[in-house]
């Protein structure tokens, strides 16, 4: 145990974070002085080595989406505000056109569920109804990835004040 | 074979999730062959998969079982 270099990596978003910390602590007691349950695994993890499904255990999903889309490091992914607004605007245009021309199927009236009760008020703080319009599009299989990325950018721009 | 193909003596194991368990387990069973271990979010206690079964094979495949633990945890994990 002593002459082996141990890296017990985990992430704050992983359901096994406590189990990994416990194991690293036990390994140190056994003599693996360098064993640490590092929560900074995202800084060195890459999708190529861990697989996309594992990657979500280390970093927030929105951040993974940004990183994949903009080919950035997941732990430091950032999008310029102008780019984010441009994508949102483009998505609004796409969704609006899709409602009338591409799909031809009226999207269901917007209903929001808040605290278990339906409401006409949006549950999302930014007030965009684009989110539910996206759901309607997704069921028809059109414009899915564009709307998904717009959602990601909106969320990340708000959370991280880009 | 790995040493011959890599052209170096030191050997490192790496794995994520269940692969992390195997990376750690291999290093624990063959410490003379491994110099470094990198494990990403592994589950090192296999008791939950065995439904009470336990023998020597399980013991040598469970890194947590090999490590010394406080008495309370040792009793709870069998």
Query: In whole angstroms, how far apart are CA A40 and each of A2, A33, A52?
Result: 23, 19, 17
A144-160 vs A130-140: helix crossing angle, rounded to 10: 150
Q: Which of A66-70, A110-114, A127-131 has the lowest mean pLDDT?
A: A127-131
Domain range for residue B24? 2-65
Contact A7 B31 (CB under 8 A): no
Which residues in chain A are contacts of B14 at CB distance < 8 A?
49
ipTM metric:
0.74
Of B36, B45, B67, the CB nearest to A30: B67
φ and ψ of A44, to 5 deg: -115, -10
Angle at A151 between CA A148 and CA A89, to 5 degrees: 100
**Bigger pLDDT: A66 vs B10:** B10
B29 contacts chain A (CB < 8 A):
no
Which residues in chain A are contacts of B38 at CB distance < 8 A?
7, 9
- Tokens representing A5 are 């270099």
Q: What is the pLDDT of residue A81?
A: 65
- CB-based contact A42:A13 (threshold 8 Å): no
Question: For chain B, how many structural domains are there in total?
Answer: 1
Contact B41 A51 (CB under 8 A): no
Q: What is the pLDDT of residue A6?
A: 78
Q: How many CB pairs under 8 A join A and B?
A: 70
Q: What is the pLDDT of residue A73?
A: 57
- CB-based contact A59:A47 (threshold 8 Å): no
Q: What is the pLDDT of residue B4?
A: 80
**Measured distance CA(A12)–CA(B56) in Å, rounded:** 34
- Global confidence as pTM: 0.49
Q: % helix / strand / coil in chain A, to the nearest 5? A: 55, 10, 35
Which residues in chain A are contacts of B34 at CB distance < 8 A?
4
Could you tell me if residue B34 is inside a domain?
yes
**Bigger pLDDT: A19 vs A88:** A19
- CB-based contact A15:A57 (threshold 8 Å): yes
A19 contacts chain B (CB < 8 A):
yes
Nearest CA in chain B to A40: B40
B26 contacts chain A (CB < 8 A):
no
The Cβ of residue A17 has, within 10 Å, a number of other Cβ atoms equal to: 17
pLDDT over 80 (residue A2)? no
Q: What is the mean pLDDT of chain B?
A: 78
- CB-based contact B18:A16 (threshold 8 Å): no
Q: What is the pLDDT of residue A72?
A: 58
Q: What is the mean pLDDT of residues A102-119?
A: 44
Burial class (CB in 10 A: 0-12, 13-18, 19+), B42: buried
Contact A1 B37 (CB under 8 A): no
Could you tell me if residue B7 is inside a domain?
yes
Q: What is the pLDDT of residue A154?
A: 44
Give tens-digit pLDDT for A81-97: 666 677 666 666 655 55
φ and ψ of A96, to 5 deg: -60, -45
Most B-contacting residue of A5, A31, A45 (CB-CB within 10 A), to test interface: A5
């Amino acid at each position: 145990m002593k002459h082996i270099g141990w890296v017990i990596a985990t992430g704050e978003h992983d359901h096994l974070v406590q189990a990994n910390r416990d194991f690293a602590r036990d390994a140190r007691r056994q003599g693996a002085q360098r064993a640490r349950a590092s929560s900074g695994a995202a800084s060195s993890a890459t999708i190529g080595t861990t697989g996309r499904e594992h990657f979500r255990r280390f970093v927030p999903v929105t951040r993974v989406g940004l990183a994949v889309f903009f080919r950035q490091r997941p732990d430091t992914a950032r999008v310029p505000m102008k780019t984010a607004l441009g994508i949102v605007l483009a998505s609004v245009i796409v969704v609006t056109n899709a409602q009338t021309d591409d799909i031809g199927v009226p999207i269901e009236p917007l209903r929001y569920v808040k605290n278990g009760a339906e409401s006409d008020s949006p549950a999302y703080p930014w007030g965009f109804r684009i989110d539910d319009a996206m759901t309607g599009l997704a069921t028809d299989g059109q414009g899915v990835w564009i709307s998904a990325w717009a959602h990601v950018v909106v969320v990340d721009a708000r959370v991280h004040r880009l | 074979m790995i040493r011959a193909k890599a052209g170096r003596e030191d050997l490192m194991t790496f794995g994520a999730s269940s692969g992390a368990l195997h990376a750690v387990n291999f290093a624990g069973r063959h410490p003379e062959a491994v110099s470094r271990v990198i494990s990403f979010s592994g589950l090192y206690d296999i008791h939950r998969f065995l439904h009470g079964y336990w023998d020597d094979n399980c013991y040598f495949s469970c890194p947590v079982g090999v490590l010394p633990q406080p008495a309370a945890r040792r009793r709870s994990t069998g």
